[in-house]
Homo-oligomer: A and B are copies of this chain.
Amino acid sequence: MTDSFFQLSANLASIAKGFHTRGWLLGTSGNLSAVVQRDPLRLAMSPSGIDKGELTPEQLLTIDENARIVSNHNGKPSDESLLHLRVVNDRGAGAVLHTHSIWNTILSDLYASDGGVKIEGYEMLKGLQGVRTHEHSEWLPIIENSQDMPALAEVVGKTLNEHKDAHGFLLRRHGLYSWGDTLAHAKRHIEILEFLLETMGRTSLIGKV
């Protein structure tokens, strides 16, 4: 275990615990990854079926560019490793995080017929990498859910290509993916998008008193 892998694993475990506390990774749902090295690619990846509130750095797996395990062979990588790898490759991301929150689940279904959620006019958007003003308009694409991971990875790749400015995407009735150059950026992006989805969901309900 290299220093870099160990540090990333500790940070991934810490983020997993925090997100689990917020209810974004309940029931062993969701997964997290971070690039350990690029050439050849080595990705630290959360294992399948582990309680994210109890994830330890030692449980993180290393996978290669084909989602094969190259360390911790008694663990099983998440089925969604192919989606993480696609984001890493197509976006050059240094980390990819995937959450199952109540609000992202609801909005991924509510806006499915629109093909995505348009989020604009919020100061919080300025926290997304490259965004300089609240007047930014973010399009968060929604992809139909599927259990066929190679096929879904293709759709993800196509979506990333069509929406080159997107900082994340939703899988319908499933969850949110976001990423960043570093793990800290990816964490920030998830927090921002979760905040904005909840804000939009609740805004639809509110009136003056």
Contacts and interface: CB of A to CB of B under 8 A. Distances in A.
B145 A206 contact: no
Contacts of A121: 173
Interface stretch (A33-41, A64-72, A196-204): A196-204
A127 interface: yes
A189 B124 CA distance: 22
A123 B173 contact: yes
Interface size class of A (residues with CB under 8 A): 35 or more
Given A27-B192, A123-B174, A106 B203 contact: yes
Contacts of A203: 106, 109-110, 209
A187 to B, nearest CB: 7
A154 interface: no
Contact of A29 (B109, B111, B124, B189): B124
A69 B186 CA distance: 29
A22 to B, nearest CB: 8
Contacts of A23: 22, 195
A105 interface: yes
A195 B102 contact: yes
A1 B106 CA distance: 46
A124 B105 contact: yes
A51 interface: yes
Contacts of A109: 203
Interface string A68-104: 0000000000000000000000000000000010110
B191 A27 contact: yes
Query: Which of A26, A103, A147, A184 has most chain B Cβ within 10 Å?
Result: A26
A127 to B, nearest CB: 4
